[in-house]
Amino acid sequence: MKTVIWNHRSLVLAVALAALALTGCKADRGDKGDAAKTSAAATDTGGSQKGDFGPPQGAEIKAVLTSPPNVPPATGRKAPAKVIVELDVVEKEMPISEGVTYTFWTFGGTVPGSFIRVRQGDTVVFHLRNMPDSKMPHNIDLHGVTGPGGGAASSFTAPGHVSRFTFKALNAGLFVYHCATAPVGMHVGNGMYGLILVEPPEGLPPVDREYYVMQGDFYTSGKYREKGHQPFDMEKAIEEHPTYVLFNGMEGALTGDKALTAKTGETVRLFVGNGGPNLVSSFHVIGEIFDKVWFEGGTRFQENVQTTLIPSGGAAIMDFHLEVPGSYVLVDHSIFRAFNKGALAILKADGAERKDIYSGKEVDAMYIGDRAQPNLAAVTEATTAAKAGALTVEDQIKAGQALFAGTCSTCHQPNGEGMEGVFPPLAKSDLIKADPKRIVDIVTHGLSGPVKVNGKDYNSVMPPMSQLTDDEIANIGTYVLNSWGNPGGRIDKDEVAARRKAGKPTAAAEH
Ligand SMILES: [Cu+2]
């Protein structure tokens, strides 16, 4: 049977309906009638009115909380219990991208906050502690709570204080929790959200692996990947123009050596939330199809889904079976967010090839460029060195090399040789040699029209790469100048800033 039965009550309902049909009411006895019965059963769990399974039984249980991307084990319980949750609010500086730091406000020290897992009917005693070194008061609104504010008013907690409130988890589902202290958008925008799973009484179907991923949008006063410490930008937040859209609070939180892992032959379950504060996510895994999606985190699943919509302050559960090994890329399919704001993660599946299903050839480098690398550590080192006033040409070259991959290499090729007649070579380019600093103008403003490079004619368009920051362009330029037989030299970020401001060179200057 394909329809979902999440819960024993729906079975009871189905039996009751069948009994009704037998005892003479004029129900259609054909196939149609069966379908109606099934769907009636599947559409009603009774909600909160059937969610109170009586007083808690047995000893108190301390909830296991996990940091993303980990998920606590199933409760495995057959009866409601009293569950103690202790969650700490921690304000702390953490990286938001390579070489970029941000002051996050967190539940449990991570973004998203600790994952909480309870069972429907449980009585949850919630302790919220706000660390003494916090600057702000905070509270928590759990979408799984029945009661005004979802716990917000009862949990308002000043720095160095603890508050406690108790609720009964009446509805099963996957729920977002978040801070609801004014200005709410700012608290949410600084990372104050997470997920609480309220298991149905019979639990979720078992799978091989479960992961916790949560999207959020971030607003910094600097542009995307602009280095150094970046403060929150209220204006951008109000205008809903995020600088970053991220999975698990940091660009690269789930790529390279931090990618999610699994094996072919396994079924993977993702608990995916969207903290917002503003954007709605079009959640997609490149190269996979969700076998099941419990859309909106509710009771029923849809099958065979490509992309599922996750509202701000909403969640979804998705299961998929892995057949083919390789890297699967998790994205917000509002796709500029994935490639230009960071909303990208990787699930790496190990196992034997299945050429009968997919012929092979890895495409992740092509898809995700520099993010396919283990990390951009060289970029961080260059930033640190620049701050200390000790940035060497070597630091710049290493950082530039990491950034070149995927940004420029898509067209000019990883070895700088280009493609004859289409993309001119950067290797031993006589055009670069004639005026090395012009590379800055070309990258910031683009290049179009006829050019001759090493005796060959090109007449095409290179789009401006104005999304790159000044020091990214300085490092990429320095890398190119010092590679493949080019003349060497160095570009610093002030030069880039000046040339960017000067605007596009005139046609005359172009040759
Ligand atoms: Cu807060």
pLDDT of 449 higher than 80: yes
pLDDT value of position 39: 43
Write down the residue that tokens 């368009």 correspond to. 461
Q: In angstroms, rounded to a whole number, what is the distance separating the alpha carbons of residues 415 and 490?
A: 20
Mean pLDDT of 105-131: 98
Q: How far, in Å, from the CA of 139 to the mean position of ligand 1? A: 6
Calpha distance 59→227 (Å, rounded): 51
- CA 181 to ligand 1 centroid distance, Å: 5
Residue 483 is predicted with a pLDDT of 96
Cis bond before residue 277 (omega within 30° of 0): yes
Confidence label for 11 from pLDDT (cuts 50, 70 and 90): very low
- Calculate mean pLDDT across residues 34-60: 75
pTM: 0.81
Give the residue among 338, 365, 381, 337 at the shortest CA–CA distance from 471.
381
Which pLDDT score, from 0 to 100, does residue 5 have? 40
pLDDT at 16 exceeding the cut of 60 = no
pLDDT over 70 (residue 511): no
Query: What CA–CA distance (Å, rounded) separates 50 from 502?
Result: 68
User: Which range (33-47, 62-76, 116-130) has the least confidence?
Assistant: 33-47
13 Cβ contact list (under 8 Å, min separation 6) = 40, 41, 44
What's the gap in Å between 106 CA and the centre of ligand 1?
Answer: 8
Q: Which segment of 103-117, 215-229, 375-389, 421-435 scores lowest on mean pLDDT? A: 375-389
Q: What spacing in Å lies between the alpha carbon of 200 and ligand 1's midpoint?
A: 29
| Candidate from 213-222, 310-319, 461-470 with smallest mean pLDDT | 461-470
pLDDT at 18: 43
Binned at pLDDT 50, 70 and 90, residue 78 comes out as very high
Check residue 245 and give its pLDDT: 98
pLDDT in the model for residue 6: 43
Angle (deg, nearest 10), helices 470-481 and 393-407: 100
CA distance 266 to 88: 34
What percent of the chain has a predicted confidence (pLDDT) above 70? 87
Given a cut of 90, is residue 364 above it in pLDDT? no
Tell me the CA–centroid distance for residue 198 and ligand 1, in Å. Answer: 23
Output the CA 182–ligand 1 centroid distance in Å: 8
- Residue 390: per-residue pLDDT: 85
Distance 471 CA to ligand 1 centre (A): 34
pLDDT surpassing 80 at residue 14: no
The pLDDT, as a whole number, for residue 509 is 43
Q: What is the pLDDT of residues 226-274, one digit of tens each?
A: 989 999 999 999 999 999 999 999 999 999 889 999 999 999 999 999 9
- Angle CA(96)–CA(101)–CA(103) in degrees, nearest 5? 95
User: How confident is residue 2, by pLDDT bands cut at 50, 70 and 90?
Assistant: very low
Q: Quote the CA–CA distance of 135 and 125 in Å, as a whole number.
A: 26
**What is the rounded average pLDDT of the residues 332-345?**
95
For residue range 59-70, what is the model confidence (pLDDT) as tens digits? 999 999 999 999
User: How would residue 184 be classed by pLDDT, with cut points 50, 70 and 90?
Assistant: very high
Q: Write the single-letter amino acid at 144.
A: G
- Distance separating alpha carbons of residues 334 and 79, to the nearest angstrom: 42
Tokens encoding 497? 């800033």
Q: How far is the CA of 178 from the centre of ligand 1 (A)?
A: 8
341 pLDDT above the threshold of 80 = yes
Residue 319 β-bridge partners: 269, 292
pLDDT band at 302 (very low <50, low <70, confident <90, very high): very high
Share of the chain above pLDDT 90, in %: 75
Q: Stretch 418-437: mean pLDDT, rounded? A: 94
CA–CA gap between residue 187 and residue 138 (Å, rounded): 8
Tell me what pLDDT residue 17 has.
43
Q: How far is the CA of 340 from the centre of ligand 1 (A)?
A: 28
Distant-in-sequence, close-in-space partners of 23: CB < 8 Å, separation ≥ 6: none
Over the chain, what is the mean pLDDT?
Answer: 88
- DSSP letter at 33 equals H
Spacing, Cα 166 to ligand 1 middle (Å): 20
Q: Which residue has the tokens 């005892």?
A: 23
| pLDDT 10s digits, 268-299 | 999 999 999 999 999 999 999 999 999 999 99
pLDDT of residue 3 exceeding 80, the answer is no
- Looking at residue 10, its pLDDT comes to 45
Encode 188-207: b = buried (16+ Cβ within 10 Å), e = exposed: bbbbbbbbbbbbbbeebeee
* Higher-scoring residue by pLDDT: 20, 436: 436
Is it the case that residue 15 has pLDDT exceeding 50?
A: no
Q: Are 159 and 302 in contact (CB under 8 A)?
A: no
What is d(CA 215, CA 277) in angstroms, rounded to the nearest whole number? 10
Predicted confidence (pLDDT) per residue in 472-509, tens digit: 999 999 999 999 999 999 999 999 999 999 887 754 44
Centre of ligand 1 to C-alpha 180, Å, is: 6
Residue 155 has pLDDT above 90, yes or no: yes
Distance 160 CA to ligand 1 centre (A): 14
